[in-house]
């Protein structure tokens, strides 16, 4: 009986030790929301690819900023690579478009991340 108890205890210790020593794999996945909000905290723009055609408007900045106006709509095609920054105030999303000067604004909800893919 004593041998059975010792062998059972030894087997459970080895099994538990083997599980504890087994390497764990971690995944460093990041969501669209986290990626864009992290860049907002650092005041940087994030390069993304558009999932669908979107309409943007150029921002005509004035001082103070709340008096700024926007221009006519411009349609961007699906697959275009742009740089975006999520803002907490004023326009919601700022955008830089390659080949165009200035800042642009896209009218989508702040919590809608379906219109772009992280590049």
- Each residue's pLDDT tens digit in the chain (119 positions)? 677 777 777 777 777 766 555 556 565 566 776 777 665 566 788 899 999 999 999 999 999 888 989 999 999 999 999 998 877 665 678 889 999 999 998 877 767 788 888 87
pLDDT of residue 48: 92
The predicted pLDDT at position 88 comes to 66
pLDDT for 118:
84
CB 97 within 8 Å of CB 28: no
Q: Is 15 helix (H, G, I), strand (E, B) or coil?
A: helix
Break the chain into its structural domains and give their ranges.
32-118
């Amino acid at each position: 009986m004593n041998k059975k108890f010792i062998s059972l205890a030894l087997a459970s210790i080895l099994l538990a030790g083997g599980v504890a020593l087994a390497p764990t794999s971690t995944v460093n996945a990041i969501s669209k929301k986290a990626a864009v909000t992290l860049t907002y905290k650092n005041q940087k723009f994030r390069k993304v690819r558009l999932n669908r055609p979107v309409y943007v408007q150029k921002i005509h900045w004035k001082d103070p900023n709340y008096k700024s106006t926007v221009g006519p709509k411009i349609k961007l095609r699906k697959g275009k690579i742009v740089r975006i920054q999520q803002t907490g105030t004023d326009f919601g999303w700022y955008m830089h478009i390659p080949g165009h000067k200035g800042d642009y604004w896209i009218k989508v909800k702040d919590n809608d991340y379906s219109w772009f893919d992280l590049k």
